Amino acid sequence: MVANSTHEYVLWVVLLALGAHVFEEASCNYPRYAPRLLRFAPGGWAPYIALAAFMFAAVTGGAMISWEMPEFSLMAVAFLACDALFGHFLPTVFTQKYSPGVISATLFVLPAAACSYYLCDSDGFLTHQAIIVSVGGGVATFLFVMLVARISRGPVKKIDA
Give me the tens of pLDDT residue by residue for the chain, a chain 161 residues long.
445 568 999 999 999 999 999 999 889 887 777 666 666 566 677 778 888 898 999 999 999 999 999 999 999 999 999 999 988 889 889 888 888 889 999 999 999 999 999 999 999 999 999 999 999 999 999 998 888 777 766 555 555 54
Cα–Cα distance, 7 to 31 (Å, whole number): 35
* pLDDT at 154 (0 to 100): 59
Cα–Cα distance, 157 to 43 (Å, whole number): 12
* pLDDT at 32 (0 to 100): 75
Structural domain count of the chain: 1
3 belongs to a structural domain? no
φ, ψ of residue 96 in degrees (nearest 5): 60, 30
75 belongs to a structural domain? yes
22: left (phi over 0), alpha (psi -120 to 50) or beta: alpha
Q: Burial of 161 by CB count in 10 Å (0-12 exposed, 13-18 middle, 19+ buried)?
A: exposed
Task: Say if residues 116 and 43 touch (Cβ distance below 8 Å).
Answer: no
* pLDDT at 153 (0 to 100): 62
* pLDDT at 91 (0 to 100): 85
33 belongs to a structural domain? yes
* pLDDT at 132 (0 to 100): 97
* pLDDT at 2 (0 to 100): 47
39 belongs to a structural domain? yes
Closest CA to 125 of 67, 78, 74, 75: 67
4 belongs to a structural domain? no
Q: Which domain holds residue 136?
A: 10-153
Cα–Cα distance, 69 to 81 (Å, whole number): 19
28 belongs to a structural domain? yes
